[in-house]
Amino acid sequence: MKILHFISGGDTGGAKAHVLTLLDSLRKKNIDVSLLCIMEGIFTDEAREMGIPITIIPQEKRYDISVIKKIKRFIIDSGCDLVHCHGARANYIALFIMNGMNVPFVTTLHSDYKLDFVGNWRKNMIFTPINAFALRRFKHILTVTNAFKQMLIGRGFKEERLNVIYNGIDFSKDITKLGKKAFLEHFGLEDTGNTVFIGIAARFDAVKGVNVFLQAVKEFCDSSPDADVSFLLPGSGEMESELKNYAAENKLTKAHFLGLISDEKLMNGFYNTVDVNCLTSYSESFPYALLEGARAGKASAATAVGGIVEMIDDGQNGCLVASGDYKALAAVWKTLYENKELREKYGRAFYEKAREKFSVESMAQTHIDIYTKIIKNNRG
């Protein structure tokens, strides 16, 4: 079985983690996998480091359709049995190719396509409807949560076209990470020995709600000014200046912007350091940011959106709040800040659930089963 994965190549965050983890897991099951990308980036750098075969057919602008003919020829010459697309740009290009090909096309829905470009009116106006149109032309769509499957059904997608495959994370190996002391020294941060670290690893884009995280920081610090707490924000994105300005204007001196962390050892150091791992998104799929925290055995506090509610059982292995409710989030922080035993209890419980239900082995095998069925049906 030869599978070609098609993705832009400029991806970061959850989509990057999902695709690279999936390809690595498929290779371990002796599946012939390769990557086709249209740009260079952190994603392509990491893919090469992992030894994944990768081809770049550059597309400098989204509206440059000159690459379509080249990509079609490459797919034909590759001899692949199936093309698996990821993301709006790959879906858009596949729209012009897949109907004239004998090779079946599949796409994975990593997020709510109606919210992907929220915060950028130009991209939202142009690319959201294009991606929505492209998605409806795929005969096979994989969703990373049951919530996304139900969302698509509610929007008129036929259920028989949809399959749910949860993201998976590798619990079988020891991960390389910086120790807490080394991580804090790297960023010039202090630890009194009693400091509670609360963090959020997310793109600084509107859909991720990092502004809500900062509003909760203000709420918490206003009500508990003497609390020995530090808030860590690795990341970058379109809202970076706005978020930093808000922090400066409100004198949020306990909030620390760490910049984009692309080094795996350093990023694992973040999850090793935080006591409470957060996500404040308005829309989510099945975020690796929470799975990474689960693997590190850390308590989680997140918004009750998308697949997060399929990961976290509120009050059992973490805490959920409504999206945008910064006051509720600050109240959760106060409870967790004051109760170390509760933090540790949530961390252990989330680790056990994730290890049992969200493994890379399960994710890879489910993909193989679906690929096999689609390829067989395509060949008649």
**In a structure prediction context, what are the per-residue pLDDT tens digits for the chain, which is 380 residues long?**
999 999 998 877 677 888 998 999 999 999 999 999 999 998 999 999 999 999 999 987 766 778 999 999 999 999 999 999 998 889 999 999 998 889 999 999 988 777 776 667 777 777 778 888 889 999 999 998 898 999 999 999 999 999 999 888 888 777 777 899 999 999 999 999 999 999 999 999 999 999 999 999 999 999 999 999 999 999 999 999 999 999 999 999 999 999 999 888 999 999 999 999 999 999 888 898 999 999 999 999 999 998 899 999 999 999 999 999 999 999 999 999 999 999 999 999 999 999 988 888 889 999 999 999 999 998 86
Q: How far apart are CA 13 and CA 21, in angstroms?
A: 12
Closest alpha carbon to 263 in 39, 42, 102, 66: 42
- Asked whether residue 147 is domain-assigned, the answer is yes
Q: Are residues 187 and 243 in the same domain?
A: yes
- Asked whether residue 174 is domain-assigned, the answer is no
Q: Are residues 217 and 343 in the same domain?
A: yes
Q: How far apart are CA 98 and CA 212, in angstroms?
A: 41
Q: Are residues 7 and 148 in the same domain?
A: yes
Q: Tell how strand 32-37 and strand 54-56 pair up.
A: parallel
What confidence score (pLDDT) does residue 118 get? Answer: 67
Q: Are residues 48 and 150 in the same domain?
A: yes
Give me 354's structure tokens.
């994730």
Closest alpha carbon to 6 in 130, 127, 105: 105
- Asked whether residue 173 is domain-assigned, the answer is no
* Structural domain containing residue 146: 2-168+359-379
- Asked whether residue 331 is domain-assigned, the answer is yes
- Asked whether residue 148 is domain-assigned, the answer is yes
Q: Are residues 274 and 373 in the same domain?
A: no
What confidence score (pLDDT) does residue 64 get? Answer: 75
- Asked whether residue 110 is domain-assigned, the answer is yes
Q: Are residues 201 and 150 in the same domain?
A: no
Q: Are residues 219 and 338 in the same domain?
A: yes
CATH code at position 91: 3.40.50.2000
What confidence score (pLDDT) does residue 121 get? Answer: 73
Q: How far apart are CA 230 and CA 208, in angstroms?
A: 20
Give me 221's structure tokens.
């610090």
What confidence score (pLDDT) does residue 334 get? Answer: 98
- Asked whether residue 164 is domain-assigned, the answer is yes
Q: Are residues 214 and 129 in the same domain?
A: no
Beta bridge partners of 321: 303
User: What is the number of domains present in the chain?
Assistant: 2
44, 9 Cβ separation under 8 angstroms: yes
Q: Are residues 210 and 343 in the same domain?
A: yes
Q: Are residues 118 and 128 in the same domain?
A: yes
Q: Are residues 348 and 365 in the same domain?
A: no
Q: How far apart are CA 210 and CA 239, in angstroms?
A: 9
Q: Are residues 225 and 158 in the same domain?
A: no
- Asked whether residue 8 is domain-assigned, the answer is yes
